[in-house]
Amino acid sequence: MKGWNWDPHEPGILRLPSGRLVRGRGLRYPLDPAAPTPSYGVYLLGGRPPEVPWASRWLRWPDFRLPADRGEARDVLTEAWRRSAEERVEIACGGGKGRSGTALACLAVLDGVPAGSAVAYVREHYDRRAVETPWQRRYVRRF
């Protein structure tokens, strides 16, 4: 089953066109103890994220900015997209909107959404305020 046990009706779950499910989350909000944990997480922060008991990657990405290393970002997001076919993948930043929304839009591009439509796709299916800055929108269009 694609999305490997994420409930598609839970807040923060994005269904990609292929059926893969990915969770976007703001790290400043506590996890619901009853919610399933990810098997793989990508944490988009300017500084090192807190330790988690599942496999994870940290991508240096300051708030309201773009990833520090765009080649690494492409590799990390491609790995997250690949894993989302059979694992519970979480993409998270501080608030769960700007950086997470940008990364989710990039996953949508990898999943076949045209780059020029990916921000609108994520805003419709994840959060209407996702991808906060003009340079984040431009990053997705060029991803």
pLDDT of residue 2: 47
At the second CATH level, the architecture of 13-142 is Alpha-Beta Complex (3.90)
At 103 the pLDDT is 98
* Interatomic CA distance for residues 3 and 20, integer angstroms: 5
Spatial CB neighbours of 138, under 8 Å, sequence gap ≥ 6: none
Give residue-wise pLDDT tens across range 21-55: 999 999 999 888 888 999 999 999 999 998 999 99
Angle made by CA atoms 54, 102, 27, in degrees to the nearest 5 = 40
The answer to whether residues 88 and 56 touch, using CB atoms and an 8 Å cutoff, is no
pLDDT tens-digit readout, 63-94: 999 999 999 999 999 999 999 999 999 999 99
Which two three-digit tokens encode residue 125?
């299916």
Domain boundary assignment for the chain: 13-142
